[in-house]
């Protein structure tokens, strides 16, 4: 038995060399350990290989072909990309998605931040728990169910929303039958279901701000609003970055709500980018084209995330 330079099994796998010297039984040879790691990793790695890595390569290849799954795939070069760049439905769907993301994410983060800062101080514990659970609750429901009952609430003739509007003496709003109304409903339903997630992140972030900082600001005579701008916002900026990146990535993939509420209509007014991927592939059987649209969407997601992180260099303040 000798001191060995190879790390024994069971050492912290953080990559940091362990200062302590350990003795391990000589029988534990390295190949055996590798084999055991391989056995443990096999289900996950093989699964990911087959259902993520191969498909992503498949999508990359397929984007250069025209294929309806029945006849032989035909190589078309960049034709799919040229085609989707010129296709009004694709263009509108991407534009819709971007407008949706900007409005929905702004609302989602704004509402979440306001509510999270409101439950921070001077609330009895039971009320804080009640509000936190309530705002979290929609997250456990399926977007399809939520879209079904929200669709009824926004029904033009029989819906509760227009009934409420009528109480105030206003004319009923044609929610789901006009482009602007339908887009508004999709946004409202989406934000209703998802603001709780950003809320949770903000509650965590606000909880991490030391009370002393506020006390110091109060001693300097800072008012509530000034405290919020000069203390809360900078100290909360790392949380805001994470919350906004996650909200944007999720919102760019919106599908369930517009599909169930409006099927993309009226016209193309609520058609999202993912809906077009779905329709190209499984309704029009243009798998190459669907792959190309999917790749463009993925590039958009990556680009937006990259820009957010770049911007964060200027605005995010780390303690």
Partner 1 sequence: MTTQLDTKAKQPLRRKVRRPVTGAYIGRLAVLLVAAVLTLGPVMWTLSTSLRLPSESFNLPPRFIPWDPDFTSYSEVFAQIDMIRLVVNSALMTGFIAAGQMITAAMAGYAFARLKFKGNKLLFGLVLATMMIPVQVTIVPVFMIIRGMGLADTLLALIIPAIPTAFGTFLMRQYFMGVPAELAEAAEIDGASQWRIFRSVYLPLATPGMAIVGILAFNYHWNEFFRPLILTISEENFTLPLGLVSLQGNMGTGSISVVLAGVILSMLPAVVVFFFGQRSLRAGLTAGVGK
Report, in Å, the least distance between residue 226 CB and partner 1.
14
- Residue placing its CB nearer to partner 1 in the complex, 106 or 134: 134
Binding track, positions 73-102, relative to partner 1; x by CB under 8 A: ------------------------------
Question: Looking at 32, 170, 177, 180, which residue binds partner 1 (CB under 8 A)?
Answer: 32
Q: Angle at which helices 179-207 and 143-153 pack, to 10 degrees? A: 130
Counting contacts by CB under 8 A, is residue 13 touching partner 1?
A: yes
Question: Looking at 17, 29, 58, 229, which residue binds partner 1 (CB under 8 A)?
Answer: 58
DSSP 75: E
Burial of 64 (0-12, 13-18, 19+ CB in 10 A): middle
Question: Looking at 2, 14, 21, 310, which residue binds partner 1 (CB under 8 A)?
Answer: 14
DSSP 65: E
Q: Which residues pair with 74 in a beta bridge?
A: 66
| Residues contacting 265, CB < 8 A, separation 6+ | 182, 271
Counting contacts by CB under 8 A, is residue 317 touching partner 1?
A: no
Binding residues among 221-250 for partner 1 as defined by CB under 8 A: 224, 239, 242
DSSP 119: T
Q: What is the DSSP string of 184-221?
A: HHHHHHHHHHHHHHHHHHHHHHHHTS-HHHHHHHHHTT
- Residue placing its CB nearer to partner 1 in the complex, 41 or 85: 41
Question: Looking at 155, 178, 237, 312, which residue binds partner 1 (CB under 8 A)?
Answer: 155
Counting contacts by CB under 8 A, is residue 287 touching partner 1?
A: yes
Question: Looking at 2, 10, 88, 313, which residue binds partner 1 (CB under 8 A)?
Answer: 10
| Residues contacting 133, CB < 8 A, separation 6+ | none
Question: Looking at 29, 99, 130, 307, which residue binds partner 1 (CB under 8 A)?
Answer: 130
């Amino acid at each position: 038995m000798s001191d060995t330079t190879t790390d024994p099994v069971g050492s912290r796998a953080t990559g940091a060399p362990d200062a302590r010297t350990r003795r391990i039984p000589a029988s534990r040879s390295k190949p055996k350990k590798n084999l055991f790691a391989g056995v443990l990793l096999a289900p996950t790695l093989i699964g990911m290989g087959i259902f993520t890595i191969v498909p992503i390569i498949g999508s990359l290849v397929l984007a250069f072909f025209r294929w309806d799954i029945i006849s032989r795939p035909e190589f078309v070069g960049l034709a799919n990309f040229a085609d989707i760049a010129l296709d009004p439905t694709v263009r509108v769907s991407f534009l819709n998605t971007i407008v949706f993301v900007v409005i929905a994410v702004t609302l989602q983060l704004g509402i979440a931040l306001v509510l999270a800062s409101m439950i921070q101080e001077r609330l009895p514990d039971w009320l804080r728990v009640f509000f936190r659970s309530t705002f979290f609750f929609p997250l456990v429901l399926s977007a399809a169910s939520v879209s079904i009952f929200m669709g009824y609430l926004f029904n033009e003739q029989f819906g509760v929303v227009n009934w409420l509007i009528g109480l105030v003496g206003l004319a009923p709003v044609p929610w789901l039958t006009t482009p602007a109304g339908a887009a508004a409903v999709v946004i409202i339903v989406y934000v209703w279901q998802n603001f709780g997630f950003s809320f949770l992140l903000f509650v965590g972030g606000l909880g991490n701000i030391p009370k002393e900082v506020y006390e110091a600001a109060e001693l300097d005579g800072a008012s509530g609003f000034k405290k919020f701008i000069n203390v809360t916002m900078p100290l909360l900026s790392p949380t805001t970055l994470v919350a906004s990146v996650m909200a944007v990535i999720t919102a760019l993939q919106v599908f369930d709500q517009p599909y169930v509420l409006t099927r993309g209509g009226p016209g193309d007014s609520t058609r999202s980018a993912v809906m077009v991927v779905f329709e190209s592939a499984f309704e029009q059987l243009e798998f190459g084209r669907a792959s190309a649209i999917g790749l463009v969407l993925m590039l958009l997601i990556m680009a937006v995330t990259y820009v957010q992180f770049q911007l964060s260099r200027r605005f995010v303040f780390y303690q």
